[in-house]
């Protein structure tokens, strides 16, 4: 796993026109009965493996939200590690992103980074910048890993703090500008919700060609075409567009994996069509 490089993987998928990110947030109560096993760990792994096998040729990225595994205790954490191992094995060209939103003082972040990268084997991780850039160095020091900084999230209450004014500009714009300073190793990305298209466009104008993880497509009803128009970089790339529930729970029946594949293909096709309609800027 140590030889895997986030930017090389992202660039390779971008050249193939692949910008979809499939999220893996398994909820035992929503997993189809057809795939349920006797134990939590076995059920989570079986569900994730089936989705991986069905979708692995479509996206650029698989995203696992750590909360959906930690909630099940040690069995869930083991399922998280096993799922990441399987993703590397079955889909070696797909980025594996740990959506953990970590953020603390420096020595604690060193432990978070060790967990995400050395123990779990993730290619990238989401981080919270609230404590400033200095403690984030523990993540950015992993030069071959992607560090995705929360900038403007997709939830309805995001504006409460993220749009609070800091001098002459809102906090999310301050974070976007700071991300340029933090990008010394070329491994920084930012995260913006598709549910805030105006803010997405403003962040793109600030960060230039830096990759942006975009959440809120699908179940949160972000507009895909507008998202791509405002979020693409000057090369018509720079996008990691996440959809989770709309894909992995596309069916509650025995055909859940096939339904997930079909939905992922629909998103992939829609992204490609939107990029054609909204070509790269010069």
Catalytic residue among 18, 37, 101, 262: 101
Question: Measuring CA to CA, which residue among 273, 214, 272, 221 is closest to residue 238?
Answer: 214
Run of H or E residues at 110: helix 106-113
> Is 144 in contact with 187 (CB distance < 8 Å)?
yes
Question: Measuring CA to CA, which residue among 107, 118, 141, 71 is closest to residue 79?
Answer: 71
Structure tokens at 80: 């998280």
* Cα–Cα distance for residue pair 278/190, rounded to 1 Å: 21
- How far does CA 151 lie from the centroid of its chain? 13
Q: Respond yes or no: is residue 101 known to be catalytic.
A: yes
* Cα–Cα distance for residue pair 2/222, rounded to 1 Å: 35
Where in 218-269 does DSSP place strands (E)? 239-243
| 17 burial via Cβ count (<10 Å: 0-12, 13-18, 19+) | middle
Run of H or E residues at 193: strand 188-193
* Cα–Cα distance for residue pair 170/151, rounded to 1 Å: 11
Per-residue burial over 75-109, b if 16 or more Cβ lie within 10 Å, else e, is: bbbbbbebbbebbbeebeebbbbbbbbbbbeeeeb
- Catalytic positions, written as ranges: 101
């Amino acid at each position: 796993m140590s030889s895997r490089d986030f930017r090389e993987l992202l660039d390779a998928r971008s050249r193939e026109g692949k910008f979809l990110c499939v999220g893996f947030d398994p909820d035992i109560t929503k997993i189809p009965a057809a795939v349920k096993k006797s134990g939590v760990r076995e059920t989570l792994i079986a569900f994730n493996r089936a989705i991986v096998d069905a979708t692995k040729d479509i996206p650029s990225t698989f995203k696992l939200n750590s909360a959906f595994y930690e909630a099940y205790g040690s069995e869930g954490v083991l399922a998280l590690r096993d799922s990441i191992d399987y993703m590397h094995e079955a889909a070696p060209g797909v980025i594996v992103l740990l959506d953990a939103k970590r953020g603390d003082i420096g020595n604690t972040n060193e432990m978070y980074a060790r967990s995400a990268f050395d123990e779990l084997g993730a290619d990238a991780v989401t981080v919270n910048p609230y404590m400033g850039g200095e403690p984030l160095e523990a993540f950015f020091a992993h030069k071959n890993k992607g560090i995705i900084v929360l900038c403007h999230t997709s939830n309805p209450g995001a504006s409460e703090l993220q749009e609070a004014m800091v001098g002459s500009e809102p906090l999310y714009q301050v974070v976007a500008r700071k991300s340029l300073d933090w990008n010394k190793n070329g491994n920084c990305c930012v995260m913006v919700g598709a549910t805030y298209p105006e803010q997405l466009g403003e962040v793109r104008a600030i960060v230039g060609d830096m990759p942006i993880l975009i959440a809120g497509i699908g179940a949160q009803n972000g507009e895909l075409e507008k998202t791509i128009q405002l979020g693409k970089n000057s090369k018509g790339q720079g996008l990691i567009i996440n959809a989770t529930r709309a894909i992995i729970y596309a069916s509650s029946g025995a055909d859940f994996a096939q339904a997930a594949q079909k939905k992922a293909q629909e998103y992939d096709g829609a992204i490609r069509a939107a990029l054609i309609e909204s070509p790269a800027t010069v």
